[in-house]
Structure 1
Amino acid sequence: MRPIIPAFNGQGALLASWNPHPAGVSGRPSFIVIHGGHGLNPTNFATALWLRDEFQANVLVLDSYWSRGREENWATGTRYGVNMRVLDVIAAGRWLRDSAGADPRHSFLIGDSQGGWTVLRSFTTEAFFQRELPGLLRAGIALYPNCKADGTAQYPRLGPYAGPVLIFTGGRDSATPIAQCAPATLTAASDWVHFPGGTHAWDIANRGAHTPAVDGECTRAMNVYNPFPICRSDATTAAMRTRIKSFVLGLNTP
């Protein structure tokens, strides 16, 4: 991780891991991977590795929290709110296009939990975001996202969306329960896939990013506010990745 992304407001730089394809950046998809409320973890890097290998892609892993000297954002959910996270996405998209040479027509945003929330907010038809984001990203993918939206600054509107969005939810997810999602938040997406048996973070890399995960192993979040269950499911992860592949390939046309 290096401070390579100039912040949206020009004050400092965001930490990121940039992994261009060895054969060159051009002519292939690029992904921005954004983390959830507990900050970067092995699952984010496992996702990045899968994207790199599956799509022969360029991958940028963005860190919004350690960039600001914080490890996590779970206690309130809003210390670093979703609008701030969108500004980080805009900054990363600009860098990807202008400095790294990626083609924004083939650039995708993917995030889990609070990162998934950020995906939904990034593509919401807010005037300010839609002045800044067009020409930076092709589509977004939200994994078990926060869905609470009450119109306040803390929980702003989600949807309708200005571009293609793919959403995944889990029926046993008590960290970001689907009950918090307004139906329109989900149905406005290009595609919404619900896994009835899925807990939060069903794709957890429970043995690290480079080691195969242990299927069926359950644990709980190390979180005094909500020690929600997390159960790895290889089948759900595989089904999710199949849908992601179909979504990306369907959009990643010349």
Structure 2
Amino acid sequence: MKVEVCIDNFESLQIAERAGADRIELCAALALGGISPNAGFIEQAVNYASIPIYVMIRPRSGDFYYSENEVEIMLKDIYHARVAGAQGVVFGVLDKQANVDRQVLKALMREAGQMGVTFHRAIDLASDYQSALETIIEAGCERVLTSGQACNALSGSGVISQMVKQAAGRLSVMAGAGVNHHNVADIVKQTGVTEVHLSGKSSRPSQMLLSPNAASMGDMDDFSLAITGEANIQSLRQALGLVING
């Protein structure tokens, strides 16, 4: 079983690796579902990590129907991830009819070159997930991340199971969204996946000495930092160990 942890800050990278993550999905702004991280973060993560780094390629939050300019941004971001030495990239592209955009996917795959590619949860918005899965396999993606077109992987386990059967080893189906140590055993047993994806999110207070009247920089709490919870990842690994050994 492989455990992929999505992170959006360097502290979380250190925690996730220490807690036993097998792979990192490197993002910015996980509160928005994850968008492309900056070049400095990519380089620092690749230089530090002893596990594979897969870089999120998503130019904005929202849907996965992109303009020509946004596709150009994605191509440039893939190039920078590749030059930085990342092991893989993560993206998903749909057209106006919510089908996988074959031409854009082909262009992104070409830019990715020898890097691994995960097609992310854009498949959960596809109008026909079975057709979408065939297109993703045909393009050469090594993995698809999915919640089974549901709000979380446990609720979508029936569809995820069907994807695993349809893929038949031609790519890996990775379950993600709402995965934790409480439900991971059920998700694995019900779907047959061999990879799971989570943030394992937690938080810590700011270490700054703050005035009680400190100004806020935005809509979120600037003085509570969202980080990967080390115990959350360790507990999930223990739960997976029981599934494997039990």
TM above 0.5, one fold?
no
- TM-score bracket, shorter-length normalisation: 0.3 to 0.5
Larger Rg: 2
